[in-house]
Amino acid sequence: MKSSGVYRNRRNIMRSKELSYSDSAAYVASQIAKAAPGSIFRISGYNSGAAQFVQLLDAATLLADTAVPKIVFAVAATSNFDFDFGEKGRFCEAGIVV
């Protein structure tokens, strides 16, 4: 299924080879995963410090600290984390900032 030029189903994306990845070579406080409308399917990483929160924002640029996130996840201290949004993912109209 295709809507507004963005595939919303993971199988269709994988078949069409439009799936993209965003990663970092070093620790980051925030990251623009996609600066355009799209779906996010998974967030994974490592927290090397104290317990904290991972926030998902529907935006194309980094926002002020007062911005309201779309989703918030608690992450334990010094641990790996992995959040899966399922087969259809989570659609963001403006972009994806983590």
| pLDDT tens for each residue of 9-33 | 555 555 555 677 788 878 888 889 9
Full-model pTM: 0.77
pLDDT at position 81 is: 92
Q: Residue 46's closest CA among 73, 27, 23?
A: 27
Domain count, the chain: 1
Q: What is the dihedral of CA 58, 74, 9, 3, to 10 degrees?
A: -20
**pLDDT: which is higher, 88 or 3:** 88
Report the first-to-last Cα separation within the chain, whole angstroms: 26
For residue 23, what are the domain limits? 2-97
How many angstroms separate the CA atoms of 12 and 60, rounded? 24
How many angstroms separate the CA atoms of 79 and 50, rounded? 9
